[in-house]
A = this chain, B = another copy of it.
């Protein structure tokens, strides 16, 4: 399935930190950059998210702010 979100960047999971309902997943996207994603524990299970897994980071363009 292709998705309408403009930003889709491949990376590798380096950390999964479980909370009560959500997990914070850290993804290394190369170039010295990491991205932190907050998703539900159910999604972590459904997608088989674990350290070392290759994932795609997905962000809509309207959710990206700029600072300068």
Contact = CB atoms under 8 A, between A and B. Distances in A.
A66 B58 CA distance: 6
Interface in A20-68: 20-22, 24-25, 27, 29-33, 35-40, 42-43, 46-49, 53-68
A57 B34 CA distance: 12
A67 B4 contact: yes
B40 A67 contact: no
A37 B61 contact: yes
Contacts of A9: 33, 35
Interface of A: 1-9, 19-22, 24-25, 27, 29-33, 35-40, 42-43, 46-49, 53-68
